[in-house]
Structure 1
């Protein structure tokens, strides 16, 4: 008999076939795939937050929006009907539609924080301890398969460096990840510390009503201005082309553009650098020092390109509402920030858009047969499972392409794996290093020559490893995986079934 999510298997314990952790982009997509592909399986979704959306629910800073186009950041199964670059409200409405169409609302338990997960080989299942955030009560869920879809942010603790004199500053210091709901910045002088996608979003949004906004950056970022709504999408909609056709056409167009930029970043980075800089020049004041402020020392796409809808940051600079200072911070003063070159930037509000920290698998404590799992000594299997950890998959998206492109691919692979296990009569699957992998060199999960953003480099010592060969690699490109993952042989000797 199949045990439903509502049927307790023991006093105070419930059981589901698949337990999804996280109700953001990855978790909602995983649940939709489960519902469509494996309708006979029971499942539940747990999320520590108070509503769906993950990052899109927690981030409330001015102008919060996507940093990828929604034709690829949206799911492959659900047409996107809005502008290419979308606000958090638009993305949440889209997720609500997916939840409604997939009849997923009854499967999601909010304010349910997973604190530990223990695998028992004797019982062939996970026992998951869950704390209800609103009551502080604990309860237990058991599951045959654990699917980690919690994303990679540490939602509770942003990355915030400490500078000398911060306690003396008489104004407001705000981090985008913990934005004060009552902050009114109209008419104020604002300094935004940072230069990445978040800073590029906040600066033009705050500049609409602030007296002035200064973006203070230690080092530049490559910016890429794109239309908020793709001209081709407008044309197709004017011709009453069906939404699913428009979605697929635009999806392919954005993927092709992304593939070409990624190819150039490896094969002709100098040419790509010049292309990006030349695209910026006509959108900035003639006297703007583009080499100093917007030409990083790293290779294009060695860190993310920051997308600017309709070039809004450049417009704010051109209109004198915003400016850029490239320098390091000496200290905070009572009235602002002093740079290492001696310039004092007056501020009523300082925004520390300094990024975030990764949180591996939600900070959950894992054990296998009573032994704690040290993920730093484990190896990834195709960026979807971990060596020696039974019946667990995870979703980790792309750096250079939309996260959801990989979430869809992983969902397809996991559903195929679950179906394959049933066909084989197997209840357990464990990624296992083969004899020929015994002496395989282990590498950090991320290669700084490939991608070296701060949040990646800060996390190397707490992440799993990767090998030098398939299937023990991670962080491939979408151009490689869109054909490779659907073709994965589930009967190769790297997966051991019982």
Structure 2
């Protein structure tokens, strides 16, 4: 699916950035709820899918079920609820085609800068297409570009890496022709990427060691949702989709709430589950028992316990330790142990990046995001006619982004009712105590402290992790009647730089 740039599109009502889940979702709502407004989706890559087109490493999959990660207006009908990356990308492409969203996508269009013109009440958006820049004037700007850099991964210093004789690969840039059969591979990391790679590499004939600095909570889950499959057999798709979605939301909310209130109980249950899969209790204690509580960091999911099966079969092992340096034949740990390998994979995480790396300014003046506060998880104080899609950290990304898309459409329509006045959350609003936007003690969050806006401590200024409360707010506390101001663009001065 491909669409050539429309050079004549210099004026647009809504510019959506990114043709991944968030972009396709808001496009549907714009078509349904704001039919009088024109929009295009600027996508830097040449295909739909975002994350699910970028990542090509073996075994790439989501750890969210497709009944919640999928789009609510097109319920997932696959037999498995936990699926691989290509299946998700195909689903998104089919969805875009079915609803005519694909006709609005402009591929190969990278947004590199956006400047709010207070006098004109427009965003002047600079787009790079194959090295040639053009400016699109948009009344509204919607960022569906995710939260990490596509061009750069997090790669911590690895002493002696230049001495290693084999390939050193980051999963984000996995070589398509990489051969792994018969190889010994060390996967450095213990997050979702690492625990996905290990069983996938084993299935391709490799011997794998997962080298971690510290353990992570890992739970096993049946990739099939049997209740969902039954409901879809007997009920209309839209009804079954809604029931399954809320069933899974209720379950995730209950388990998350229990983890926060009774962490020891949840920890015991998780470790018991691992012990049922791995017969050696020493492995469970040494390599799967974190020193923090569940949901202080994300919990990792393994469908059907595939990671545990690989360990039990002796085709994979976990080593917990600190790297001293690379040597030509492998990795030397601080303990003195040498782990020999043919290939080393650095599953060391992502580099967080908002707005796809684009430069944001107001009347030509730069923005310091750390001095801004996010409202309802989507609006940034002082920045008019702009919304950011950012999903939940404890539930499916789509659940939050779909609410964001619906709220954005409400604001667009309300703006039109105010004679196209610009909507903005004033910087002077009383947000309470300012706190980090993301309530996770994870490395990728700490590393991004200098690029993220903050959250507040009261009302809509809090970044919630509660799907039900956010949904109730959508229905009973409409965002257009909340702490939003609608200002005549001719006298608009909101958002002046710090």
Q: Distance in 1 between the 2:468 and 2:331 partners?
A: 44
Indicate the SS of the match to 2:351. Answer: coil
CA distance in 1, matches of 2:6, 2:58: 41
Q: 2:435 maps to what in 1?
A: 443
State the 1:32 CA deviation: 1.0
Partner of 1:190: 185
Give, in whole Å, the separation in 2 of the partners of 1:362 and 1:26. 13
Secondary structure of the structure 2 residue equivalent to 1:357: strand
1:245-284 equivalences under 5 Å are 245-284=239-278
CA displacement 1:434-466 (0-9 Å, x = unmatched): 4655xx4332223xxx41111111101221122
SS of structure 1 residue aligned to 2:461: coil
Following the alignment from structure 2 to structure 1, what is the Cα–Cα distance between the partners of residues 313 and 385?
56
State the SS of the aligned residue for 2:68. Answer: helix
Quote the Cα distance in structure 2 between the aligned partners of 1:278 and 1:170: 40
**Which residue of 37, 40, 58 maps to 2:36?**
40
Closer, same or farther: CA 422–494 of 1 in aligned 2, 3 Å: closer
Contact 2:323 2:333 in 1 (8 A): yes
Name the structure 1 match of 2:465.
Answer: 476
2:170 paired residue number: 175
Whether 1:29 aligns to 2:21 is no
Q: Higher mean Cα deviation, 336-345 or 405-414?
A: 336-345
What is the CA-CA distance between 1:477 and the residue it aligns to? 2.7
CA distance in 2, matches of 1:218, 1:6: 50
- Indicate yes or no: 2:219 matched with 1:224: yes
Indicate if the aligned counterparts of 2:394 and 2:465 stay in contact, CA closer than 8 A.
no
**1:208 corresponds to which residue?**
203
Q: 1:190–1:210: 8 Å Cα contact kept in structure 2?
A: no
The root-mean-square deviation of aligned C-alpha atoms, in Å, is 1.7
What secondary structure sits across from 1:461 in the alignment? coil
Instruction: State the shift of 1:493 in Å.
Output: 4.4
41-50 or 459-468, larger mean C-alpha shift:
459-468
**Is the alpha carbon distance of 1:320 and 1:436 closer, same or farther for their aligned partners in structure 2, counting shifts above 3 Å?**
closer
Residue matched to 2:481? 491
Asked whether 1:303 is paired with 2:297, we answer: yes
Partners of 1:436 and 1:200 in 2: how far apart? Answer: 43
In the TM superposition, what whole-angstrom CA distance separates every residue of 1:113-140 from its partner, at most 9, and x where no partner exists? 11111111211111111111xx311111
Residue in 2 that maps onto 1:336: 330
Which of 130, 151, 154 is the matching residue for 1:156? 151
8 Å Cα contact 1:228/1:309 also seen in 2: yes
Can you list the C-alpha shifts for 1:34-84, whole angstroms capped at 9, x where unaligned?
A: 111111110000011121111100100001111110000001111101111
Relative to structure 1, the CA distance from residue 348 to residue 275 in structure 2 (aligned partners, 3 Å threshold; closer, same or farther) is: same
In 2, the alpha carbon distance for the partners of 1:121 and 1:301 equals 42
Whether the 8 Å contact between 1:434 and 1:494 is mirrored in structure 2 is no
> Unaligned stretches of 5+ in structure 1?
none
Distance 1:411 1:329, change over 3 A: same
Residues 86-123 of structure 1, C-alpha deviations (whole Å, 9 max, x = no match): 11111111111211122012211111111111111211
**Residue 345 (structure 1) aligns with:** 339
* CA–CA distance in structure 2, aligned partners of residues 256 and 247 of structure 1: 14
Q: Give yes or no for contact 1:17–1:145 (8 Å, CA) kept in 2.
A: yes
**How far apart are the structure 1 equivalents of 2:479 and 2:164?**
59
Which of 369, 384, 389 lines up with 1:395 in the alignment? Answer: 389
Task: Look up the match of 2:128.
Answer: 131
Q: What is the TM-score when the length of structure 2 is the normalising length?
A: 0.93
Contact 1:115/1:364 (8 A) holds in 2: yes
* Alignment partner, residue 418 of structure 2: 424
Structure 2 gaps, min length 5: 489-498
The superposition leaves residues 264-317 of structure 1 with CA deviations (integer Å, 9 ceiling, x where unpaired) of 111101100001111111111234421221111111011111111111101111
Per-residue deviation at 1:480?
A: 2.7
Task: Specify the alignment match of 2:100 in structure 1.
Answer: 103
Contact 2:371 2:453 (8 Å CA) reproduced: yes
Distance 1:485-1:297 versus aligned 2 partners, 3 A rule: farther
1:493 and 1:37, CA in 2 relative to 1: closer, same or farther beyond 3 A? closer
> Of 29, 49, 56, which aligns to 1:60?
56
The answer to whether the 8 Å contact 1:378/1:386 transfers is yes
Q: What is aligned with 2:118?
A: 121
**Among 309, 317, 329, the residue aligned to 1:315:** 309
Following superposition, the deviation at residue 483 of structure 1 comes to 1.5
1:290 aligns with 2:264: no
**Residue 368 of structure 1 aligns with which residue?**
362
